[in-house]
Structure 1
């Protein structure tokens, strides 16, 4: 294992940097204390305002299908069919969203609605994406050195683009070469990283994955990808064994 003082050497032979978002580029508190509360506080008003729009009705239909699939789960909320009274459907859709969020569900139906709500919030300036101070300088340095940078997050690609397209520093999308979400596979499965390696056309050994989750780092390593665990304020504390196994860093500024 390379010593901490050799962190910069890890990037010398790297062609692609693959970045997680929560706890890596962006404080976990941004998602927990800003994005998710926004959904809970505004979902009723959002559905009310956009109810007649085709996109909103598609969101509700997807929520309805998810509710049907979840029918046997404790607390699941059924959503009446299209012919039911508007208010009954709307109230049930809101209740379903809140139940899914309370249960930490990551369904496509929930993510799709959240993405549309965040898009509206970013567009009107109610929400601005947050990134650590060392992120943008590092992205610029990596790109200047000829490296490519991709994002891999459990949040949808649309949500990723919204965050990086509306940060407190403006849009930084031009510093990113592409985005991956769980449509390519779960982040704790080695096969997902093999798929990403193939998608970016780069050998796994030339990719460096930065994440705060050791299970994700282990899966990436199983696929042959190099890893580094990012320690940021608020991230889960690493165990002694994890510190021995994984290379770590507290800032992107060390990775030149």
Structure 2
């Protein structure tokens, strides 16, 4: 059964929604883990690295933490799957370099890219909201197996420029940034807590349930759900479809 929405914009989660969580965990996480030390030493004066290190120290409550302590914290957070902003920032820098060098190519489920191209062609504005940093998102969409998908995307949001993904205020910030009314926004995610937050902010929300993903068995609560993007039909206020 197709789900139909009359909205102006769709906001996309990445892991478990457009792309396999397993790829991130099995490919990207080890890649970043092996390079934390190098980025902390080789790019110690980079403003993004300086800011991330400062944030790590703040989170640890250790203002004098050295690079060894900072790297240890990054490994611990990665092991525990903590969505810490400085961890995501540094991962984004590392992954961006990896994508640029051709070491990495991102993953998208087969149903995703054709549907995104169709929605974009129909005038639907596409945005991304992920716990991964904006830099990581930009590299991810620019380095897909189908080429550079960034021209399809109008905006990128993460926990730094929008806020935590399970808080309604984060979705209100995104709505304000996009200029799209809450009731004209649709959020796609596999995590029920995120869907709850989007709905609390007045958005439409659909849970994407893909076999093998971490939240598949848990389900998406009382939200509408789809197994693939093909099951979702979007029309806009100015569309005749």
| TM-score relative to the length of structure 2 | 0.85
> 1: CA distance between counterparts of 2:45 and 2:193?
40
Deviation >4 Å, runs of 4+: 45-48, 238-241
Between Structure 1 and Structure 2, the one with more strand by share is: 2
Q: Contact 2:56–2:70 (CA<8 Å) still a contact in 1? A: no
Deviation at 1:107, TM superposition (A): 3.0
Q: Choose 1 or 2 for highest CA Rg.
A: 1
Within 5 Å, give how 1:171-182 maps onto structure 2. Answer: 171-182=148-159
Secondary structure, aligned partner of 1:136: helix
Trace 1:62-211 onto structure 2 (pairs within 5 A).
Answer: 62-63=52-53, 66-67=56-57, 69-71=59-61, 79-80=65-66, 89=67, 91-182=68-159, 183-211=161-189
Q: For the Cα contact (< 8 Å) 2:192–2:220, is it kept in 1?
A: no
C-alpha deviation, 1:60, in angstroms: 5.6
Residue range with higher mean Cα deviation, 144-153 or 99-108 = 99-108
Which runs of 5 or more structure 1 residues have no equivalent in the other structure? 81-88
The reply on whether 1:25 has 2:2 as its aligned counterpart is no
- Work out whether residues 227 and 247 of structure 1, in 8 Å CA contact, stay in contact via their aligned partners in 2: yes
- Listed one character per residue, the Cα deviations across residues 143-194 of structure 1 (whole Å, up to 9, x for unaligned) are 1111111111111111100110111222100111111112212211112222
1:54: which partner in 2? 45
Distance 1:137 1:65, change over 3 A: closer
User: What is the TM-score with the length of structure 1 in the denominator?
Assistant: 0.80
> What CA deviation, in whole Å up to 9, does each residue of 1:198-242 have, x standing for no partner?
221222122111110111111111111111100113221355782
Instruction: Pick closer, same or farther for the CA change 1:69–1:25 going to 2, 3 Å.
Output: closer
> Who is 1:83 aligned against?
none
Alpha-carbon distance in 1 for matches of 2:166, 2:74: 25
